[in-house]
Chain A
Amino acid sequence: MTDSWSVAGRTFNSRLIVGTGKYKDFEQNAAALEASGAQIVTVAVRRVNVSDPSAPMLTDYIDPKKITYLPNTAGCFTGDEAIRTLRLAREAGGWDLVKLEVLGEAKTLYPDMRETLKATEILAKEGFLPMVYCADDPIAAKQLEDAGAVAIMPLGAPIGSGLGLQNKVMIRLIVEGAKVPVLVDAGVGTASDASVAMELGCDGVLMNTAIAEAKDPVMMAGAMKLAVQSGRAAYLAGRMGRRQYADPSSPLAGLI
């Protein structure tokens, strides 16, 4: 079964987006990416090391012609910083599909939605296609969509926490209200968390630490691939209704 999804007119078969941070080395990162089946990776924009220009580069291990690079604004605490970062990213890579995140504070890495909304508007006007990391707020999600976000990416739990989805009701409400794709971005800790996100009807899941900090990142990447597929299939299949009490699976008629 092909079950593709589209963001800003681009179609992908994998609903898993993976980060490229925190890996032991580029080889492990590339192997995990392969096992995950992901077609999009998030990347950060940073100063080049001018004292060691021959240091290996991400692009030597993950081919931007085969894998879609999604530049992020990780570490930006104002909209202006984020916009500046993405302008550089567009010049460096030529890509207009970007991940906007404007953080509110270091402790929680929770998004600053006022700055995020302002930056989304400006980026959209400049021709960017921003996929936006955001709070699990259905109203903010609608405002982002109106401002030009091409995807809504609420957190399921704090970035890097691995706590799993703490806000299933809010994620579902965002999914029901959105006309653009919704992806859970941040909070996934293990495979079942990814399935939960997909079972809620999300279009995809974005994760980094859950794979990179697993004892075996390549095996976990494979597990995440299956979890996303399985959660998606369960969503499409339509789960049974919930009952408050038991309902026997074997017939009552003909009991001896």
Chain B
Amino acid sequence: MSSSDLISIQLNGENRSFEGPLTLLELIETLGLKPNKVAVERNMEIVPRSTLADVQCADGDALEIVHFVGGG
């Protein structure tokens, strides 16, 4: 695999590399997460769940993947 296949992403504040091309849905599944339980923000913009399969991860993307936790 050549280095051009690797996509560098800032994922929840950490620098990570993934083999591309990769959609957001594929990324979520690669991480072992359930798409229906998370929300994704890409470069400060919400990505609607219905479009996760259509959005390609791009080199340098900043992604936030969040879910609900206990809180008051």
Cβ of B72 and Cβ of A47 under 8 Å apart?
A: no
Cβ of A45 and Cβ of B66 under 8 Å apart?
A: yes
Cβ of A46 and Cβ of B72 under 8 Å apart?
A: no
Cβ of A48 and Cβ of B71 under 8 Å apart?
A: no
Question: Is A98 among interface residues, defined by CB-CB distance under 8 A?
Answer: no
**Complex Cα gap A44–B39 (Å):** 13
Cβ of B72 and Cβ of A48 under 8 Å apart?
A: no
Cβ of A20 and Cβ of B70 under 8 Å apart?
A: yes
Cβ of B46 and Cβ of A47 under 8 Å apart?
A: no
Q: Which of A20-62 contact B (CB under 8 A)?
A: 20-23, 26, 29, 42-48, 50, 53-54, 57-59
Residues from chain B with a CB closer than 8 A to the CB of A90 are 39
Min distance, Cβ A181 to any Cβ of chain B, angstroms: 19
Question: Is B55 among interface residues, defined by CB-CB distance under 8 A?
Answer: no
Residues from chain B with a CB closer than 8 A to the CB of A53 are 31-33
Q: Given A47-B13, A48-B38, A92-B38, is A58 in contact with B49 using a C-beta cutoff of 8 Å? A: no
Residues from chain A with a CB closer than 8 A to the CB of B48 are 91
Residues from chain B with a CB closer than 8 A to the CB of A26 are 70
Residues from chain B with a CB closer than 8 A to the CB of A91 are 39-40, 46-49
Residues from chain B with a CB closer than 8 A to the CB of A54 are 32
Dominant SS among interface residues on chain A: mixed
Task: Of the listed stretches A66-74, A117-125, A162-170, A221-229, name the one at the interface; the rest are far from the partner chain.
Answer: A66-74
User: Most chain-A CB neighbours within 10 Å: which of B39, B44, B72?
Assistant: B72
Question: Is A89 among interface residues, defined by CB-CB distance under 8 A?
Answer: yes
Q: Which of A65-103 contact B (CB under 8 A)?
A: 69, 71-72, 74, 84, 87-93
Q: Which of B8-58 contact A (CB under 8 A)?
A: 11-14, 16, 31-33, 37-41, 44, 46-49
Interchain Cβ contacts under 8 Å between A and B, 12 examples: A23-B70, A44-B70, A46-B67, A48-B38, A50-B12, A50-B16, A58-B68, A74-B72, A84-B41, A92-B37, A92-B38, A207-B72
- Given contacts A20-B71, A88-B41, 10 further A-B pairs with CB under 8 A are A21-B72, A43-B71, A44-B68, A44-B72, A47-B13, A47-B65, A50-B12, A74-B71, A88-B39, A88-B46
Interface residues of A (CB under 8 A from B): 19-23, 26, 29, 42-48, 50, 53-54, 57-59, 69, 71-72, 74, 84, 87-93, 159-160, 207-209
Nearest 7 A/B pairs, CB to CB: A44-B71, A208-B72, A19-B72, A92-B39, A53-B32, A20-B70, A91-B39
